[in-house]
Amino acid sequence: MEQKPNSEVVVFGTWANSISGRVELALKLKGIPYEYVEEDLANKSELLLHYNPVHKKVPVLVHKGRPILESLVILEYIDENWTFPPKILPQEPFERAKIRFWANFYDQKIIPAIYTIGGSKGQEREKAIEELSELLGVFEEGIQKDFPGKSPFFDDDGNVSFLGIVVNSYACSYPAFHEAVAMIISSEKNPTFLSWVNSLRECPLIKETLPDHDRLVDRLKAFQARILS
| Interaction site with ligand GSH (CB under 6 A) | 14, 18-20, 41, 56-59, 70-72
Give the shortest CB-172-to-ligand GSH separation in angstroms: 14
In three-state secondary structure terms, 154 is: strand
Residue 58 or 129 having the CB closest to ligand GSH:
58
| Beta strand spans in the chain (E) | 9-13, 35-38, 60-63, 66-69
Residue 94 or 171 having the CB closest to ligand GSH:
171
Q: How many angstroms separate the CA atoms of 117 and 133, rounded?
A: 11
Residue 72 or 183 having the CB closest to ligand GSH:
72
Pairing mode of beta strands 66-69, 9-13: unpaired
Give the shortest CB-56-to-ligand GSH separation in angstroms: 6
Contacting residues for 21 by C-beta, under 8 A, at least 6 apart: 13, 168, 169, 209, 211
Residue 73 or 228 having the CB closest to ligand GSH:
73
Q: How many angstroms separate the CA atoms of 60 and 37, rounded?
A: 10
Give the shortest CB-123-to-ligand GSH separation in angstroms: 27
Give the shortest CB-52-to-ligand GSH separation in angstroms: 8
Q: How many angstroms separate the CA atoms of 137 and 146, rounded?
A: 14
